[in-house]
Amino acid sequence: MSSYDLILVGSPVWWYTVSTPVMSFLKQADFAGKKVSAFCTHEGGVGKFSPHFKEQAQNAVVLEGLDFYKPRQAEEGEVEKALDLWLSELRGEKNS
């Protein structure tokens, strides 16, 4: 990870928090000097995903994440639109 300035971490939401395998990764990783953002998938609630992610992403500058909720984004092209907007915001681009 040393050659990256921005690291994106994905996880399903398990019991309203970060999944156990991703939580384990976060506990081991050192994000010193890195910007980190999370994306997650869920079927109805993110619960404490974001605060738990922030707690475990040691030494990171945690940026706003993105969640994917299947019923809300089931229409064709909605996921792509959400991703494009989120990635533009992470890069600091202005959207028209």
Taken in order 3, 5, 6, 9, the sign of the CA dihedral is positive
Domain 6-90 CATH (choose: 3.40.50.300, 3.40.50.360, 1.10.1740.10, 3.30.1360.70): 3.40.50.360
| 21-48 per-position pLDDT tens digit | 999 999 999 899 899 999 999 888 899 9
Q: Rounded to an integer, what distance in angstroms lies between the CA atom of residue 1 and that of residue 19?
A: 21
Q: What rounded mean pLDDT belongs to the chain?
A: 88
Residue-range domain boundaries for the chain: 6-90
Residue 31 to residue 1: CA distance in whole angstroms: 8
Q: Please tell me the pTM assigned to this model.
A: 0.82
- The pLDDT assigned to 71 comes to 56
